[in-house]
Amino acid sequence: NAGVTQTPKFRILKIGQSMTLQCAQDMNHNYMYWYRQDPGMGLKLIYYSVGAGITDKGEVPNGYNVSRSTTEDFPLRLELAAPSQTSVYFCASGTTGKTEAFFGQGTRLTVV
């Protein structure tokens, strides 16, 4: 019963480096999301996908890219990491058959 799996759980990046945050779900959900959580700001949507091959921008997409080649996977790519991208990142999934979204355990990313 894995649900939504995010890797890694923690990461420290240097300014200018790139990395990919992995997200996989095994519930056959068509919707997947990436959120970032900053202290006192709640969760803000970065990108989302309504199905394989379809992605779109959320509120705060700058500095990120995504792809959705399969139903299960929705990786988030950070290019040229900046200190402003220091945050906790959450991947979530959902389906029209269920009203709530299911979350991964989050990735704490620090850019120094």
Interface residues with other proteins (CB under 8 A) are 31, 33, 35, 40-45, 48, 50, 56, 58, 88, 90, 92, 94, 96, 99-101, 103, 105-106, 108
Q: How far is the CB of 109 from other proteins (least distance, A)?
A: 13
CB atoms within 10 A of CB 21: 22
SS (H, E, C) 64-108: EEECCCCCCECCEEECCCCHHHCEEEEEEEECCCCCCCEECCCEE
How many CB atoms sit inside 10 A of residue 40's CB? Answer: 5
Least distance CB 80 / other proteins (angstroms): 26
Shorter beta-carbon distance to other proteins: residue 73 or 103: 103
Q: Is 29 helix (H, G, I), strand (E, B) or coil?
A: coil
Nearer to other proteins by C-beta: 23 or 79?
23
Closest separation between CB of residue 40 and other proteins, Å? 6
